Structure 1
Amino acid sequence: MPEPLLDQDGVLLTSDGGIATVTLTNPAKRNAQTPAMWRALTEAGRMVPGDVRVVVLCAEGPSFSAGLDRRAFTPEGFDTEPSFLEMARGSEAELDALIEEYQRAFTWWRRHDVVSVAAVQGHAVGAGFQLALACDLRVCADDAQFAMRETSLGLVPDLTGTKPLVELVGYARALEICATGRFVQAPEAERCGLANLTVPGAELEATVSDLAAALLAAPRDAVIETKALLAGAGSRTHEEQRVAERAAQGRRLRDLAGLAD
């Protein structure tokens, strides 16, 4: 196993052959998330080496992530972090700044120069669901269960999960999933587009490894340009997308001809 680039607060980062792996390493608590873990995830994003093209997100134990550590809702909170109840007593600006800081752990996975893949087994609840949604692709074990429980707790999903959820399953289904807090089992997740692929749990690691290798097969710049075209397609008209395609292809052809700037 490669030497860790980061190993703190339940987050392990390694890198090997163009693939970085971020592993959640607190299986005893079903990889429940804390502000310290979010800061470690943000730091992992900063530390991903420049030659990495694929980032795999996985988790130790039977659950991907059971969501937020419930200590966030207790008066005591965490050892070195304010509880959410304490956070609420601050000013609006302070509260907004804290939530924005937490969101950074979920925003770097879709950066233009990498393709991120979440390997999901067992529970992916609340913050765990949103962390899986932060990635470009999701491969799920057949026991995977997704649930957005925030609304059931009187909250809203605020860790960047609402936009990708709507983009993947549509507004009506996204509203139903969030408002009811129900579990979406692996077969439904694949049918509705939450999961790119569902496999038996024993095959999850090998399947993700094969996918990562396939993603490395094409030239890096072609993948980057294609990702940008697809990521922006939803906000462009057909004519705007045609223009973007022409510009991207022009860059690729000039590069292949050795005429790039």
Structure 2
Amino acid sequence: MTAPVVDTDPQQWEEHGVRLDVEGELALVTLCHPKRRNAQTPAMWRALAAVGRSLPGTVRVVLLRAEGVSFSAGLDRQMFTPEGIPGEHSFVRLASGTDAETDAAIAEYQEAFTWWRRADLVTIAAVQGHAVGAGFQLALGCDLRVVADDVQFAMKETSLGLVPDLAGTKPLIELVGYARALEICATGRWVGAEEAAATGLANLAVPAGELDGAARDLAAALLAAPRNAVIETKALLQGAGGRSYDEQRTAERAAQTRRMRDLAGIGD
């Protein structure tokens, strides 16, 4: 199977449902196919991956948002048809490939969902309405989530005979724990704003009309802290799960030493 060409033109990204705007240290990534409830396609995933690679080095915070009543209704159902989406691999074609070919295709899709955890960025998803399947996993890819009171998360892949494969399973378990994550995925049920906030899936739930303002306020608060201190803190927290208590203390000391030397103007 030959992979489609990756788009590098921002105008093409927008045609595929993704828009990038950069406001100084803040980047705004907008899903912009509201008439289709921001249903996701491989072309959208390639555009999202390209956005991540193209961000200026000055960007510190990325805010992911979506136009319309839904954040993302999930995968474009045309992918499930025998003919699929023109120019893309249908599920039938993916299933008929070799293990290596299918693995490579899914790995390419996952790139759209993984760069949001980069060490040099803090990413926020502002989520309203439905965030289903791939939409749920895209929100999970971000470091933080602000949700509208009408949000409805659902992981529908298992109900369709599939599994969540767009890098969402690990952050989901880290946020809500194994038992609740299994129940959410295996039943495909809806998770609303109140539960999302109570379980840690969302950092903040606000009225729908306040979503953009609340997300921007959070971005501004993140930008108020010194960049290198945020980067060091994020690295400490990201790595904590894989370290023992004593190993984490050692990592804290090393990070603090770097910060103090940086502030004092003392080089390595």
Normalising by structure 2, we get a TM-score of: 0.95
Distance 1:73 1:8 in 2: 22
Task: Select the residue among 79, 86, 93 that pairs with 2:100.
Answer: 93
Q: Which amino acid aligns with 1:242?
A: R
User: What root-mean-square deviation, in Å, do the aligned CA atoms of Structure 1 and Structure 2 show?
Assistant: 1.2
- Match for residue 175 of structure 1 among 170, 179, 182: 182
Structure 2: 5+ residue stretches without partners: 1-9
Conserved in 2, the CA contact under 8 Å of 1:6 and 1:14? Answer: no
* 1:148-168 CA distance string (max 9 Å, x none): 000000000000000000000
Aligned residues: 259
Residue 64 of structure 2 is aligned with which of 41, 52, 57? 57
The runs of 4+ residues in structure 1 deviating greater than 6 Å are none
Cross-structure match for 2:255: 248
Residue of structure 1 equivalent to 2:91: 84
Percent of residue pairs identical: 70
Q: Is the 8 A contact 2:13 2:44 kept in 1?
A: no
Task: Give the residue type in structure 1 aligned to 2:61.
Answer: V
Distance in 1 (CA, whole Å) between partners of 2:45 and 2:89 is 14
Cα gap change, 1:116 to 1:177, in 2 (>3 Å): same
Query: Per-residue CA shift, 1:51-91, capped at 9, x if unaligned?
Result: 00000000000000010000010011111112111111111
In structure 2, what residue type is equivalent to 1:163?
Answer: K
> 1:161 corresponds to which residue?
168
Q: 2:132 — aligned with what? A: 125
Task: Give the equivalent residue in structure 2 for 1:41.
Answer: 48
Aligned counterparts, 1:192-207, within 5 A: 192-207=199-214
Residues 14, 32 of structure 2: 8 Å contact kept: no
- Matched to 2:21, the amino acid is T
Q: Distance in 2 between matches of 1:117 and 1:43?
A: 18
In the alignment, is residue 32 of structure 1 matched against residue 16 of structure 2? no
When structure 1 is superposed on structure 2, of 4-13 and 180-189 the one drifting more is 4-13
Say which SS state the counterpart of residue 234 (structure 1) adopts: helix
Give the deviation of 1:8 after TM superposition: 3.7
Q: Any idea what SS the aligned residue of 2:215 has?
A: helix
Asked whether 1:75 is paired with 2:82, we answer yes
Report whether the alignment pairs 1:115 with 2:114.
no
C-alpha spacing 1:178/1:163, structure 2 compared with 1 (3 Å): same
Task: Provide the rounded CA distance (Å) in 2 between the counterparts of 1:150 and 1:6.
Answer: 26
TM-score normalised according to structure 1 size: 0.97
- Find out whether 1:104 has 2:111 as its counterpart: yes
